Amino acid sequence: MASKQISMGIGIPMIVVGAVLAVLLAPTQTEIKETIEFVGSLIGILGVVIFISGLFAKKTETITT
């Protein structure tokens, strides 16, 4: 069972923010363009990893004694 809170709440916004940084903000900066592209790409890749992990997350039953 997928976790929509992880996939939709964290994964997709991270992908969007990473894309905005790498594609839109980086060309406007001349001195630190490579750094902004790297950080944007890193955020996007981490967003994809979190999105995929949200697809495989499942609830566990609590053990009561």
CA atoms of 24 and 28, how far apart (whole Å) = 7
Where do we find the tokens 């902004």?
Answer: 36
pLDDT category at 1 given cuts 50, 70, 90 is low
Q: Where are the domains of the chain?
A: 4-56
Mean pLDDT over 55-60 rounds to 78
Predicted structure pTM score: 0.79
If 0-12 CB within 10 Å is exposed, 13-18 middle and 19+ buried, where does residue 59 land?
A: exposed
- Number of residues that this document lists for the chain: 65
- pLDDT tens sequence across 11-46: 889 999 999 998 888 888 889 999 989 999 999 999
Contact present, 24 and 33 (Cβ < 8 Å): no
